[in-house]
Amino acid sequence: MRTAICSGSFDPITLGHLDIIRRAAQCFDRVCVCVSPNAEKRNQMFTPEQKLLLVQTAVAELPNVTAELWPGLLADFAVSHGSGVIVRGVRNATDFDVEYQMALINRGIYPELETLLLPASPAYQHFSSSMAREMIRYRQPLEQYLPEAIIPLVRELTEKRKED
């Protein structure tokens, strides 16, 4: 069974992320989505557990996709799940440069680990989680940015946060 890993901080998961995950699910028997809490990123909107819930909700319709939280190195996650492939989406040359460097680092840790870079679909090239967070903050319609299944949950979580 060929297993691929899709990873990210998913704050929140966008239609662009989901497109990459769906495309990976068509190419591999199994896809494990690694939700990585990224302490380096500022202005995070959701907790790691909330991010996991959003990802699980977004991928629920994909029978060969699961999602887990992982606080450690992505390369270790891949190996622990019996995968030799990390799938990453790239929107532009800047993303490519960053992902290429990460691929080299991961391969330095585990030489058998490959990284497959999928170009973003044209409809999602301009998408980012930071842009989605702005749309959420300013109560804009979210249907063109986020998976439909998570929109009520996003609204609920952000309203709850305001109450706290």
Tell me the catalytic residues: 17, 41, 91, 129
Considering all CA atoms of the chain, what is the largest pairwise distance in Å, rounded to the nearest integer?
48
- Three-class DSSP category at 148: helix
Closest CA to 50 of 13, 99, 18: 13
Is 62 buried (19+), middle (13-18) or exposed (0-12) by CB count in 10 A? middle
Closest CA to 88 of 62, 63, 97: 97
Hey, what are 144's tokens? 């063109």
